[in-house]
A and B are shown apart, each in its own frame.
Chain A
Amino acid sequence: DIVMTQSPLSLPVTPGEPASISCRSSQSLLHSNGYNYLDWYLQKPGQSPHLLIYLGSNRASGVPDRFNGSGSGTDFTLKISRVEAEDVGVYYCMQTLETLALTFGGGTKVEIK
């Protein structure tokens, strides 16, 4: 199975400041069709996860434009341009290239300093 590794494990942030989360895969997620099969989810405290970014850099419907996904191959980044208090929670990356074994990263907990 493709192993997804996120860093950091925990990220204390200051509201209004930028934040960045890294996600690395054990195999390239770049398909021959040019898409990177990498999604980002946020699970706020006590809630179900919800989709932020799909196919590496596409913002899901209703997701604020302060969230941006980038990267290709094995290295990906989720950036929040200006963190807001409502952005706290655990962020997960997920690969969808290996369709019989979709795998999530271990998660990055974002909390306010």
Chain B
Amino acid sequence: QAQLVQSGAEVKKPGASVKVSCKASGYTFNIFGISWVRQAPGQGLEWMGWISAHNHNTHYARKFQGRVTMTTETSTSTAYMELRSLTSDDTAVYYCARGRRSFTSGWPMVLWGQGTLVSVSS
């Protein structure tokens, strides 16, 4: 069945970058959008942006513009989210999620990865 499997937990120092991967299987990867959502410890959900796996167009939340890059690699059915200039406020679980309909946006999000914990600490 369709699933998204994310890379493992990361520990980073302030100022560093992190790149989280999200490997898709069980569906045609390059016709759906992928959104990225994060959740700080004990907090709610925050949408970061999305990428079309079809044409690689990206839309980033204003808060993350200039600091985030979302990419996809069709040959391996993998999406990536890189976040730079990390601070302790970026400590969170990062989720990838697939959009519901092909050739449209990365939402509503019908298929979610298991989450990747990124801890930022000096």
Chain B positions within 8 Å of A101 at CB level:
47, 61-62
Q: Is A54 an interface residue (CB 8 A)?
A: yes
Q: Is A89 an interface residue (CB 8 A)?
A: no
Size bin of chain B's contact surface: 20 to 34
**B→A interface (CB under 8 Å):** 35, 37, 44-47, 59-62, 95, 97, 100, 105, 107-110, 112-115
Can you give 29 A-B contacts (C-beta < 8 A)? A39-B107, A39-B108, A41-B109, A48-B113, A48-B114, A48-B115, A49-B37, A49-B95, A51-B100, A51-B108, A54-B100, A55-B108, A60-B108, A61-B110, A92-B45, A94-B45, A96-B108, A99-B105, A100-B60, A100-B62, A101-B47, A101-B61, A101-B62, A102-B47, A102-B107, A104-B44, A104-B46, A104-B47, A105-B44
